[in-house]
Amino acid sequence: MNNFGEKVNFIWNIANLLRGPYKPEKYGDIILPLSVLRRFDCILVPTKDKVLEKAKEVDIPELLNAAAGFKFHNKSKYDFDKLLDDPDNIAENLRAYIRGFSANIREIMENFDFDKEITKLNSNNLLFLVVKEFNKLDLHPEKVSNQEMGYIFEELIRRFSENAEAGDHYTPREVIELMVNIIFNGEEDELTNPGNISTIGDFACGTGGMLSVAENYIHEMNPKAEVALYGQEINDQSYAICKADMLIKGEGENADNIALGNSLTNDLHKGLRVRYGLMNPPFGVSWRKDSKEVKKEHKNQGFDGRFGAGTPRTSDGSLLFLQHMLSKMKTDKKGSRMAIIFNGSPLFTGDANSGESEIRRWIIENDLLEGIIALPEELFYNTGIATYIWVLSNRKNDDLEKGPIRKDKIQLVDATSFYKKMRKSLGAKRNKISKQQINRITEIYGAFQENEYSKIFDKEEFGYLKVRIERPLKLNFKITEDRIENIYAENTFSKLFDEEKYKKLKKLSEAPEFKSKDKKKLEKLEEGKKLQEKILNRLRENIDQDKVWKNRKEFKEVLKDILGELDLKRSLMKAVRNGLAKRDETAAYCKKRGKIESDTDLRDYERIPFSHKVEGYKQDYSDFVEKEKDNITAYFENEVKPHVPEAWVDYSYTRVGYEIPFTRYFYEFEELEPSHEIKEDIEKLEAEINEIMQKVLG
């Protein structure tokens, strides 16, 4: 890797030439495509003449590729050297040079949208200068290996992504290496099998870093291994770099497997199943613009589609990407193993029965969640927030001879302390994980044993029953001035007359073009105002400061006598009654159809742990709730009723929820300082303050 830093710094210095016409966050729009172009240029130098000779005879891409010795070629007369021979026509010739590439390379350059940059560079007299500087850079594979070129791209992208928008997080290499170590842990026999073909997918693949690291890992164990890579990326530029990187490595087949498009709305690998998966989807990014297509698939296809388990709130699409990834799992005997990076939100966002909770329920009850690893903070270049690796598998081990039994278990690993401070921060990245620490985290995860960093749970641990606790509604009623004023707070009553709307319509009514529909609205408001006044006047005629009714049924009759002639709608009568009411523990129960009515303001909810095993996922969990009825009753009798004797359980409501309160399981209580020591510290500080004050005041 001795060329790595030198090459990156050289290219970065070229970027400095762009200062002025370009803002720093736009340097990548020029530097990245030119780096790709220069790499292709250097690769094709040895066979350039051979391709030009062949192009005189035929124009068949496959034959020209064969002449070039790669899955791509360039049949134009230009290369970087020749472009510099004609400074006055550099823009026109550079375009001709790009047009001379095979279709796969032209597509890459089109996705960089480089043509418009050629115009801008040329108009600012920078194009010749920048091409000249790039021509000094020897990126031939004999000088810069494919792996080294990958590192150069990676570092350039990292530098250019420091100003990326929220949610777009370039994944540090050590995090990718940890993810790869985890999903391949215990797979050595499989990966070194001579006839094995490993299929790996990343459906938010960015520039392909995860796919490359996974492929390198396998080839280090088995240089002759066959690896098929599949990816999809929404960003044009990232997609272009990913494809270019694979073509540069001579992986034409894998380059063809990289698709450009939105994974959520347009699955370009429909029907594909992969043995291994890796993803780092955007953190906390809204999917509102995609909601129509996603919800349509959820509704129409259910579990035959990708989003059968549910949809999360539109502010965060993380759990949609997770479901998409899981849809790519193989269902054969060997199954699949996958890893995805999330922030903390997917662990606990969403109450019982919400989209997020239902997705977690589907994953956990299907025993797809193998484990979660909490990473150190400040690892990523654009965010310092807490991040987690979710490890998923549909083939958890249940045979002790093959290793730890993970079936129906979920492992949590706290790796937040496994980091080293960087000597120099890179954006928000202040920490890194060393090779030794990566190996140690992998070892802890693979050992599947409980210790200070690792906890193992039955999958039911993360489920709970959300139970509604009701209390009786008890009200007293009085007809007093202050309670009459409370009636205005009731929506049904206040809607009778809206003063702002009335003033606006009254003003419009003075114009000759006043519409008939607006006239009707005005008349309705005037009628509403009159009705309000009639109601209030009748009540004021019956004010009695001392009279209190503690039985709602009796007061209904009293109110009917007072307001009966007005022939009020039931909803309006209720609004008046509610305005005159006040909660009173000494009052009689309010009843509806002979049953005690609950007080919604006193309604509460309890979370109760499961008492039964969950035997697989069922969309309708009512049978499970019925099995838990005794558990709910016992909890209520022991934990609630002693404190609230009149409360009861609304069994018809019970919901099932799932969340993973990760930090709770690793929380360590720190004993508070004894009160006498705190007192001594305070007295000491007071003495020091008095001494200072005496010196100041003389």
Q: How many other CB atoms are found less than 10 A from the CB of residue 678?
A: 11
Euclidean distance between CA atoms 105 and 240, whole angstroms:
9
DSSP state at residue 472: B
> What is the pTM assigned to this prediction?
0.86
Largest interatomic CA distance in the chain: 111
Euclidean distance between CA atoms 99 and 106, whole angstroms:
7
Show the CA angle centred on residue 318, arms to residues 314 and 319, nearest 5°: 90
Report residue 50: phi and psi, to 5°. -60, -40
SS3 683: helix
How confident is the chain (698 residues) per 10-residue block, as mean pLDDT? 71 87 86 92 93 92 92 94 94 96 93 92 93 92 81 76 52 91 90 88 92 91 91 91 85 89 95 96 90 96 95 95 97 94 94 96 97 93 86 91 90 95 82 95 96 96 97 96 94 92 86 84 91 94 93 94 92 95 95 93 96 94 96 96 95 96 84 75 84 77
What local confidence, expressed as pLDDT, does residue 427 receive? 73
What local confidence, expressed as pLDDT, does residue 291 receive? 94
Domains and CATH numbers, the chain: 2-420 (3.40.50.150), 473-587 (no CATH)
Q: Which of 258-294 are b and which e, b meaning 16 or more Cβ less than 10 Å from the residue's Cβ?
A: bbbeebbbebbbeebbbbbbbbbbbbbbebeebbeeb
Euclidean distance between CA atoms 500 and 489, whole angstroms:
16
What local confidence, expressed as pLDDT, does residue 629 receive? 96
DSSP state at residue 253: H
Alpha helices by DSSP H, 222-369: 236-248, 252-256, 291-301, 318-326, 345-348, 355-365
Which candidate, 111, 146, 172, places its Cα nearest to that of 39?
A: 146
